[in-house]
Amino acid sequence: MSSPAIFLDRDGTIIVERNYPSHPDQVELLDAAAAGLRALAKHGFPFVVVSNQSGIGRGYFSVDEADAVEARVRELLAGEGVVIAKWYRCPHAPHEDCGCRKPLPGMIHWAVRDLDIDPSRSFVIGDKWSDVELAAAVGAVGILVTTGHGQSDADRARRLGVAVCRNLLEASEEVARQLALNNA
């Protein structure tokens, strides 16, 4: 049977928002990100990172540079005991009209194929409205974190009944709450 996943945005959700980070030195874990991910890991769902990296398509940095940044995130998380099951990125610029740039669900479709994920029982946690829209597009539960850019969409999210959390630690509490509701 297919399993739920926790889909995670990267920039502004796991690491400090740096606007097109292109070098490993720019990578810094957000406060409470590792603690939140460790709490989320207790549910046993795989973590899947879904990250728009249009800096590649825009020519701001190369695939190799993007790989180096991602490797640094992976290294910092590993040091905190956090393992990401799968990393996906959309490398395209908006004008390329791809199917993987969030809020389009291409990356989640890849996870369904690669990891046998059931998106309708999954969560998407991110700091942008496109992350919330991505969740809605695949029937997952979206959670907006106000780290990164999240503050600007917080009011809209609350109005529409989307959970708004201050960081991944709070988001882990929201996931636990929602899972308990579903099992009640």
Q: Residues at the annotated binding site for Zn(2+)?
A: 90, 92, 98, 100
Q: From residue 54, how far is each of 62, 120, 126, 168 by CA, in Å?
A: 11, 27, 17, 24
**Does the annotation count 67 as an active-site position?**
no
Regarding 127 and contact with Mg ion (CB under 5 A), the answer is yes
92 binds, among Zn ion, Mg ion, none (CB under 5 to 8 A by kind): Zn ion
What are the φ/ψ torsions at residue 178 (nearest 5 degrees)? Answer: -70, -35
Report the candidate in 36, 39, 17 with the shortest Cα–Cα distance to residue 147. 17
Regarding 90 and contact with Zn ion (CB under 5 A), the answer is yes
Measured distance CA(26)–CA(9) in Å, rounded: 17
Stretch binding Zn ion (CB under 5 A), from 37-45, 80-88, 90-98, 127-135: 90-98
- Nearer to Zn ion by Cβ, of 81 and 94: the residue is 94
Report the candidate in 148, 125, 128, 161 with the shortest Cα–Cα distance to residue 45. 125
**Does the annotation count 131 as an active-site position?**
no
Regarding 153 and contact with Mg ion (CB under 5 A), the answer is no
Instruction: Please identify which residue in 4, 12, 142, 150 interacts with Mg ion, judged by CB under 5 A.
Output: 12
Q: Where do contacts with Zn ion occur on this chain (CB under 5 A)?
A: 90, 92, 98, 100-101
